[in-house]
C-alpha cells in the first residue's frame, strides 16, 4: 500500500483500545489461503480446522527477549495477544497495539504468508483439510503428535516432505505423494486478516485526509482510491491461486 507518512502505517481512527482483539477466541470467517503483501496488516486469526468462532486452547508463551513481537512467539504468530503468559517485557498486548500492528506489517512485508495457518480446512463433512506447507517427518511415520498433519487429524498430502509416511487413506488407490493441489478444495483469499487489513488501510487513508484538511469530496476520493488498490491486490492474489 502507499502511505505518505509513518503515521498512516497502522494508525486508525480512535484509540488503540478500539483495535480488534484476538487473545480470547479465534473466529475465522473464511479459511486462510494467502495474504496480500502490500496491504495494511491487522492481526491474523489463529485457527486450525474447525467451526466458525471456535475457541482455541493454547499454551502460554515464555518469550524473554522478543517482546513477543516475533514469529517465534506462538501467541503473536497465531494472531493472538498474550494472555496469562510467562513472557517478559511483553508488547503483544492492547497497551502496545500500534507497535504490535507495525510488527505485523513488517512480517507481512517480508512474507505475505507469515501468518497463514499451517492447516487449511476443506468443505465441511467431506475434506477435513490439509497442511499448507506440508510436514517434514523423518522417523515417526507421521503417526505421532510430532507430525503436524497427524496432530490436526488430517492426512498427509503431496505438499509433505515426510519419509516413510503411513498417515494416508488405505482405501485410496493412490498414495498421498501422488495427490496434487488440484485435489484440494479451493479456499478464499478473502480472509479475516485481509478484510481487517483493508479496513485499516481505509481508516488510515481517512485520517490522512483529515490531517491534510481535505474537503469531504476529496477525502472520499482518497478512500475510494485506496479501496480500489486493495481490490486490485486481492484480484491478483486470486489469479495467482488459480494458476496452481
Confidence of residue 99 (pLDDT cuts 50, 70, 90): very high
Instruction: Identify whether residues 69 and 111 lie together within a single domain.
Output: yes
Tell me the mean pLDDT in the region 175-188.
44
Q: Where a domain ends, among 184, 204, 224?
A: 184
Give the C-alpha separation, 86 to 229, whole Å. 41
| Per-residue confidence band for 90, with pLDDT thresholds at 50, 70 and 90 | very high
Residue 100 lies in a domain: yes
The answer on 77 and 20 residing in a single domain is yes
Q: Lowest-confidence range among 38-42, 119-123, 134-138, 186-190?
A: 38-42
Q: Is the pLDDT of residue 64 over 70?
A: yes
**What predicted TM-score, i.e. pTM, was given to this entire model?**
0.36
The SS3 of residue 55 is coil
Mean pLDDT of the 166-173 span: 64
C-alpha distance from residue 20 to each of 16, 117, 164, 173 (Å):
9, 18, 43, 46
- Domain enclosing residue 26, as ranges: 10-115+188-242
Q: Is the pLDDT of residue 198 over 90?
A: no
pLDDT of residue 118: 59
Pick from 167, 184, 201: which residue ends a domain? 184
Q: Look at residue 170 and tell me whether its pLDDT is greater than 70.
A: no
How many domains does one find in the chain? 2
Q: What is the pLDDT of residue 115?
A: 75
Q: What is the dihedral of CA 144, 162, 159, 36, to 10 degrees?
A: 70
Residues 195 and 80 in one domain: yes
Whole-angstrom Cα distance, residue 35 to residue 213? Answer: 33
Across 43-50, average pLDDT? 41
Whether residue 196 sits in one domain with residue 106: yes
Phi, psi angle pair for 56, to nearest 5°: -120, 115
For residue 121, give the DSSP letter: -
Q: What percent of the chain has pLDDT over 70?
A: 58
Q: Are residues 98 and 28 in the same domain?
A: yes
- For residue 70, tell me if it sits in a domain: yes
DSSP tag of 120: E
User: In Å, how far from its chain's centre is CA 108?
Assistant: 9
**Phi, psi angles (nearest 5°) of residue 220:** -60, -40
Least confident of 24-28, 78-82, 127-131: 24-28
The verdict on residue 2 lying in a domain is no
137 occurs within a structural domain: yes
Are 200 and 167 in the same domain?
no
102 burial via Cβ count (<10 Å: 0-12, 13-18, 19+): middle
At residue 127, does pLDDT exceed 70?
Answer: no
CA-to-CA distance for 126 and 64, rounded, in angstroms?
43
- What band does 111 get if pLDDT is binned at 50, 70 and 90? confident
pLDDT at res. 87: 93
Which tens digit of pLDDT belongs to each residue from 77-87?
A: 888 899 899 99
Are 198 and 172 a contacting pair, CB within 8 Å?
no
* One domain, residues 142 and 228: no
Amino acid at each position: 500500500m502507499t502511505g505518505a507518512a509513518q503515521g498512516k502505517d497502522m494508525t486508525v481512527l480512535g484509540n488503540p483500545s478500539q483495535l480488534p482483539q484476538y487473545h480470547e477466541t479465534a473466529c475465522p470467517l473464511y479459511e486462510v489461503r494467502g495474504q496480500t503483501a502490500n496491504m495494511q496488516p491487522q492481526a491474523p486469526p489463529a485457527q486450525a480446522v474447525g467451526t466458525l468462532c471456535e475457541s482455541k486452547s493454547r499454551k502460554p508463551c515464555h518469550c524473554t527477549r522478543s517482546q513477543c513481537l516475533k514469529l517465534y512467539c506462538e501467541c503473536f504468530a497465531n494472531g493472538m495477544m498474550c494472555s496469562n503468559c510467562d513472557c517478559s517485557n511483553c508488547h503483544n498486548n492492547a497497551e502496545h497495539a500500534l507497535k504490535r500492528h507495525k510488527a505485523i506489517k513488517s512480517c507481512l512485508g517480508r512474507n505475505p504468508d507469515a501468518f497463514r495457518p499451517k492447516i487449511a480446512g476443506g468443505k465441511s463433512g467431506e475434506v477435513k483439510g490439509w497442511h499448507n506447507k506440508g510436514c517434514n517427518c523423518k522417523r515417526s511415520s507421521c503417526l505421532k503428535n510430532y507430525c503436524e498433519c497427524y496432530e490436526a487429524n488430517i492426512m498427509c498430502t503431496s505438499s509433505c516432505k515426510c519419509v516413510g509416511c503411513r498417515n494416508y487413506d488405505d482405501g485410496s488407490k493412490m498414495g498421498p505423494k501422488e495427490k496434487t493441489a488440484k485435489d484440494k478444495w479451493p479456499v478464499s483469499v478473502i480472509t479475516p486478516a485481509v478484510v481487517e487489513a483493508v479496513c485499516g488501510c481505509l481508516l488510515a487513508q481517512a485520517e490522512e485526509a483529515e490531517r491534510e484538511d481535505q474537503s469531504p469530496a476529496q477525502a472520499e476520493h482518497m478512500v475510494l482510491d485506496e479501496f480500489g488498490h486493495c481490490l486490485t491486490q486481492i484480484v491478483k492474489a486470486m489469479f495467482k491461486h488459480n494458476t496452481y
